[in-house]
Chain A
Amino acid sequence: MSDELFEQALQVELVKRIDAVSSYTNKDFGHISKIEWVVFLLIGLFIPGLLVWWAA
């Protein structure tokens, strides 16, 4: 198998994959809602930030 043949196949595969991933929607991987973001940021940023302020 020549590298040239592989390069050609790679470019064809790239275009196929770009088409596929471009068609993905929120349903494909799930969607993090705004409420979920708020809770996540509260737990992940605000509370640790508060703890750092407290321990200072």
Chain B
Amino acid sequence: MSLWEYANPRKFMAWTAPVLPWAFGLAAVSLTVGLVWGFFFTPDDFRQGSTVKIIYLHVPAALMAINAWFMMLVASVIWLVRRHHVSALAARAAAPVGITMTLMALFTGAVWGSPMWGTWWAWDPRLTSFLILFLFYLGYVALWEAIEDPDTAADLTSVLCIVGSIFAVLSRYAVNFWNQGLHQGASLSLDAEENVADVFWFPLLVCIAGFVALFVALVLLRTRTEIRLRRIRALDARSARA
């Protein structure tokens, strides 16, 4: 069976139904373990004090804010190339989750930055590109809502998503590109020497797993809702014609 057959709305509904409770369960367990471990059972940092505990929210949220946009980019490109409706609906379903993650990353970053940098906000390359990414998310959702024809909406939002990807890349690599500003480099790296200390690193990994599972669960749930809404509209249109 071709991989694309899983994107058939009927098949998508069938295979996601049993996956959904597992995804939500995995998210609940990972987030509970990771956040309780990080908040209650890790020490303060010798320079940042207890604010280091914000890392368990800020880093996973920022990671998911950027990766949600990349998931939307892949789904949008699939829509533009192969016209699979489920991919367009999955991109639409992911946007509010991405907005939530971006908002969380911006807020936790601001309250962490306030005591560490002496300011809530600075027009630093990473912070600024992240704010622009947030505005792109809002624009993306607004564009979907503004256009009545679903295929036209999917086309235009896909183009917007491709353009916005520049800021998703900048959000991730701004620090490396400009090498200036307040925000430090990546907290996570394949180079072990650049990572945070193990005592913070392991609970952080569990939290990241929890955020990934939550994102997957929410996108599946919301995509299923979008498919059902599309079916309702089709039924309405059919009864209007009759």
Q: State yes or no: do A and B come from one complex.
A: no
Which A residues are closer than 8 A to B by beta carbons? none
Which B residues are closer than 8 A to A by beta carbons? none
